[in-house]
A and B are shown apart, each in its own frame.
Chain A
């Protein structure tokens, strides 16, 4: 498929949907349709995957701008050629994953606690809102405080506020060297050592606990990696790149499971939670994946007690409160924001919360 700008055609589709009040299901490659509440059968698909191409990229500016339907693989290969990367290490969850879907779902990989999240790297966007207007927010510069930060608001909005026609991202140089050190230990010990690393000036850019082992990824200049290895004990993992890739893409055997997968966010130093099931800890302990037969209400109750929150990440049951419910005054603000972008509620109806 070749690069092209179909924003005018997308705008016509939105204007028509607006006129008829037809709900639209924003589609890229479909790699992330498993996330969030199932789209109602009445929704018409609006496909953005033809709207693709890198609009601007100058490695010296550390900024890349691409259309929403651009495949992540295309972006990543251009960046790799220039020795750069998307530092939030986005999961693809499918071959055709697009930039727009990645930002809309605000997904970040193992490097997230150390480099920042998808939203942290958003600098600007071009948005098609629910009035059929094409709007630009933010820009292609690192620092910009003119107006509210609407472009970062799009990260994690699951398309409910509009179609991301273009996104500008900050990109970073790839580290010259990387190793992963591995050590057998209990979950409690792993949590303690991963959180201790947060106050050490070591170039750590990944830490997880999986299969009775704590894995810590160290990346930077060759000399820095060598030096840090003397301070972080453990055996060097062979083929570490494949491991982190499989973790990021949920391709580890841990994820070969048909049950409900819960995504649990806690403060990283939170001791292991007493909920029955199988656990994998990523993000230095801040993100915990759980397969459990316990119901979501019970799990939420336990996690809320330690200041965390829970979403149902993969499940056969795609209805109900998959995302952590919001307190009433916050939900009211969400609804007013939604209405201001999408007054007729045409985009991705109910994808995050029933009434958004």
Chain B
């Protein structure tokens, strides 16, 4: 780790004129909690951390940094999984932790305006009194904040039916690198001009600092019910997913776990999963009482016809919660059976699931590293968890290499290197495999349109062409297989 960077004394003394002393952190021990986000293998102390509490303060901080040419990294709760909020040694880390007020819940217009540091779940909790909720539910929803959700375009287990963050927000207030305050989007269903709201969502802190978010709220469904199906073959489970969708049903959640993930989860939370199954599917249906009853019967039939060895409907709300608890604790469960694990996040067209799972299992054997698979099956978002031991020499590097091969495979079958965790610092080299240099240049053009000085979160999300040349990745482009001899089915 590089030694602590030389402090920019002029900047810090100007900051002291703007903010109370407790809102400026410069001592190493105070900076330590900010050295990484949820991807802890990358760590770096920033030069300074600031914790403003008003938009005007954020604007002044940005103007100062712009003037002093100091790069800025924004941070919410720091739960991100791709190192997007990794500080820069010579940079300022802008924490939005103090922006945690819910400014307005407007039930008549089904929307809420909140500060970026409000936790995802807190929005739904506040809206519950009106029969409303905020739909995207990343598994970190207890801790992650809405500002970070916008920056990462977070998903969750209900994306197939309810969409990602980009589908569930209306308006943002954003401070630019120059300190201008912009309103992007509107409180109305569309807004004049280009769809900058789409660009901002998932922009990983590269385009502006999000200081206020207006979200869309939805009516809470009358009822939710979950069916668990066990299979003796992952291919059959994959086919069952397609069959459910072909029947005209859009489940609220449709999750798959493979044997290693099932066993780890079962040993951890005793969710009642069948330990000997090769794969399980959890299919949640929500809507009106009548609709849920009708579709549950239909889904049970489809699962049985697809060769499920066991089909169970949760008998009550407690069992429904338990079925989900197993899935939601899959990551920590895997954490119990291995000293370390590395969570991947590729998306593939669902029809390639059997091929991808088989190739992952072959690669797992080749690298001598076990892989547990947890899969948002409805929307094709795969989370292979690579089990490793960072204390064994070279194992982290081998794990990263295996992860890289898995992402390359996702691109080869027409998918993407990241479905919901973002590129950050983690997958910046894999971007070279997914995009041509002309496309990367276009991305840099978009970046420069918002941030001509390039001081916002530099070095993340979009690689420079130079970096790609050094990485030397073979470019595999959208479904054009690098290995046409591979069997596909």
Query: A residues near B, CB below 8 A?
Result: 58-63, 83, 106, 112-113, 116-117, 119-120, 129, 131, 133, 135-137, 139-150, 152-153, 155-157, 161, 172-174, 176, 195-196, 198-203, 220-221, 223-224, 226-228, 265-269, 283, 286-287, 307-309, 311, 323-327, 329-331, 333-334, 336-337, 339-341, 352-353
Taking a contact as CB atoms under 8 Å apart, the answer to whether A60 and B350 are in contact is yes
Taking a contact as CB atoms under 8 Å apart, the answer to whether B419 and A143 are in contact is yes
Taking a contact as CB atoms under 8 Å apart, the answer to whether A221 and B290 are in contact is yes
| CA A289 to CA B358, docked complex, whole Å | 55
| CA A346 to CA B187, docked complex, whole Å | 33
- Asked whether B186 is an interface residue with its Cβ less than 8 Å from the other chain, the reply is yes
Stretch at the interface among B45-53, B388-396, B436-444: B436-444
Q: Which of B196, B294, B376 contacts A223 (CB 8 A)?
A: B294
Number of interface residues of B (CB under 8 A): 101
Taking a contact as CB atoms under 8 Å apart, the answer to whether B348 and A137 are in contact is no
In the complex, chain A residues whose CB is within 8 Å of the CB of B132: 199
| CA A145 to CA B200, docked complex, whole Å | 12
Per-residue interface assignment for chain B, residues 75 to 109, with 1 indicating a CB less than 8 Å from any chain A CB and 0 otherwise: 00000000000000000000000000000001111
- Asked whether B385 is an interface residue with its Cβ less than 8 Å from the other chain, the reply is no
Q: How far is the CB of B280 from chain A (nearest CB, A)?
A: 20
Taking a contact as CB atoms under 8 Å apart, the answer to whether A323 and B192 are in contact is yes
Taking a contact as CB atoms under 8 Å apart, the answer to whether A155 and B195 are in contact is yes
Taking a contact as CB atoms under 8 Å apart, the answer to whether B431 and A140 are in contact is no
In the complex, chain B residues whose CB is within 8 Å of the CB of A139: 347, 414-416, 478
| CA A223 to CA B294, docked complex, whole Å | 8
In the complex, chain A residues whose CB is within 8 Å of the CB of B462: 147-148
- Asked whether B486 is an interface residue with its Cβ less than 8 Å from the other chain, the reply is no
| CA A138 to CA B291, docked complex, whole Å | 33
| CA A157 to CA B182, docked complex, whole Å | 19
Taking a contact as CB atoms under 8 Å apart, the answer to whether B419 and A201 are in contact is no
Among B199-238, those with CB < 8 Å from A are 199, 201-203, 207, 217, 219-222
Across the A-B interface, the 7 shortest Cβ-Cβ residue pairs: A340-B445, A152-B198, A336-B449, A173-B248, A143-B419, A142-B379, A269-B108
Taking a contact as CB atoms under 8 Å apart, the answer to whether A307 and B188 are in contact is yes
Taking a contact as CB atoms under 8 Å apart, the answer to whether B379 and A141 are in contact is yes
Knowing that A141-B416, A195-B108, A223-B293 are A-B contacts, what are 11 other residue pairs whose CB atoms are under 8 Å apart, sorted by A's residue number? A129-B442, A140-B414, A143-B381, A147-B461, A153-B199, A156-B195, A173-B250, A221-B294, A329-B182, A330-B182, A337-B445
Beyond A60-B242, A199-B130, is A146–B431 a contact (Cβ under 8 Å)? yes
CB-nearest residue of chain A to B196: A333
Taking a contact as CB atoms under 8 Å apart, the answer to whether A145 and B423 are in contact is yes
CB-nearest residue of chain A to B376: A143
Q: How far is the CB of A83 from chain B (nearest CB, A)?
A: 6
- Asked whether B370 is an interface residue with its Cβ less than 8 Å from the other chain, the reply is no
Among B356-399, those with CB < 8 Å from A are 376, 378-381
In the complex, chain A residues whose CB is within 8 Å of the CB of B349: 58, 61, 63, 140-141
| CA A196 to CA B188, docked complex, whole Å | 17
Taking a contact as CB atoms under 8 Å apart, the answer to whether A146 and B434 are in contact is yes
In the complex, chain B residues whose CB is within 8 Å of the CB of A135: 436, 438-439, 442
CB-nearest residue of chain B to A131: B438
Taking a contact as CB atoms under 8 Å apart, the answer to whether B419 and A61 are in contact is no
In the complex, chain B residues whose CB is within 8 Å of the CB of A227: 288-290
Q: How far is the CB of A270 from chain B (nearest CB, A)?
A: 8
- Asked whether B180 is an interface residue with its Cβ less than 8 Å from the other chain, the reply is yes
- Asked whether B420 is an interface residue with its Cβ less than 8 Å from the other chain, the reply is yes
CB-nearest residue of chain A to B176: A329
Q: How far is the CB of A162 from chain B (nearest CB, A)?
A: 10
CB-nearest residue of chain A to B417: A146
Among B273-309, those with CB < 8 Å from A are 287-291, 293-295
Taking a contact as CB atoms under 8 Å apart, the answer to whether B189 and A112 are in contact is yes
Taking a contact as CB atoms under 8 Å apart, the answer to whether A308 and B195 are in contact is no
- Asked whether B160 is an interface residue with its Cβ less than 8 Å from the other chain, the reply is yes
Taking a contact as CB atoms under 8 Å apart, the answer to whether B418 and A267 are in contact is no
**Residue with the highest number of chain B CB atoms closer than 10 Å, among A198, A309, A330, A339:** A198
Interface CB pairs A-B, < 8 A, 12: A60-B246, A62-B245, A136-B436, A140-B349, A142-B159, A145-B419, A145-B423, A149-B198, A196-B108, A266-B188, A311-B192, A329-B180
Beyond A153-B198, A333-B449, is A224–B248 a contact (Cβ under 8 Å)? no
Beyond A120-B167, A145-B420, A202-B288, is A309–B442 a contact (Cβ under 8 Å)? no
| CA A309 to CA B192, docked complex, whole Å | 8
CB-nearest residue of chain A to B208: A333
Taking a contact as CB atoms under 8 Å apart, the answer to whether B439 and A326 are in contact is no
In the complex, chain A residues whose CB is within 8 Å of the CB of B459: none
| CA A330 to CA B445, docked complex, whole Å | 16
Q: How far is the CB of A268 from chain B (nearest CB, A)?
A: 6
Taking a contact as CB atoms under 8 Å apart, the answer to whether B347 and A224 are in contact is no
**Residue with the highest number of chain A CB atoms closer than 10 Å, among B217, B418, B435, B439:** B439
- Asked whether B422 is an interface residue with its Cβ less than 8 Å from the other chain, the reply is yes
| CA A145 to CA B379, docked complex, whole Å | 13
| CA A61 to CA B479, docked complex, whole Å | 15
In the complex, chain A residues whose CB is within 8 Å of the CB of B290: 221, 223-224, 226-227
- Asked whether B131 is an interface residue with its Cβ less than 8 Å from the other chain, the reply is yes
CB-nearest residue of chain B to A270: B109
Taking a contact as CB atoms under 8 Å apart, the answer to whether A198 and B219 are in contact is yes
| CA A337 to CA B448, docked complex, whole Å | 8
Taking a contact as CB atoms under 8 Å apart, the answer to whether B452 and A336 are in contact is yes
| CA A136 to CA B427, docked complex, whole Å | 19
Beyond A63-B349, A333-B450, is A309–B198 a contact (Cβ under 8 Å)? no
In the complex, chain A residues whose CB is within 8 Å of the CB of B217: 199
CB-nearest residue of chain B to A162: B442
Taking a contact as CB atoms under 8 Å apart, the answer to whether A220 and B450 are in contact is no
Q: How far is the CB of B433 from chain A (nearest CB, A)?
A: 10
Taking a contact as CB atoms under 8 Å apart, the answer to whether A61 and B478 are in contact is no
In the complex, chain A residues whose CB is within 8 Å of the CB of B288: 201-203, 220, 224, 227-228
Taking a contact as CB atoms under 8 Å apart, the answer to whether B295 and A221 are in contact is yes
| CA A63 to CA B351, docked complex, whole Å | 12
In the complex, chain B residues whose CB is within 8 Å of the CB of A199: 107, 110, 130-132, 217, 219
- Asked whether B166 is an interface residue with its Cβ less than 8 Å from the other chain, the reply is yes
In the complex, chain A residues whose CB is within 8 Å of the CB of B416: 139, 141, 143-146
CB-nearest residue of chain A to B440: A147
Taking a contact as CB atoms under 8 Å apart, the answer to whether B193 and A267 are in contact is no
**Residue with the highest number of chain B CB atoms closer than 10 Å, among A148, A157, A198:** A148
In the complex, chain A residues whose CB is within 8 Å of the CB of B221: 201
In the complex, chain A residues whose CB is within 8 Å of the CB of B431: 146-147
Q: How far is the CB of B199 from chain A (nearest CB, A)?
A: 5
Beyond A145-B420, A148-B446, A203-B288, is A307–B163 a contact (Cβ under 8 Å)? no
Taking a contact as CB atoms under 8 Å apart, the answer to whether A141 and B380 are in contact is yes
Taking a contact as CB atoms under 8 Å apart, the answer to whether A340 and B220 are in contact is no
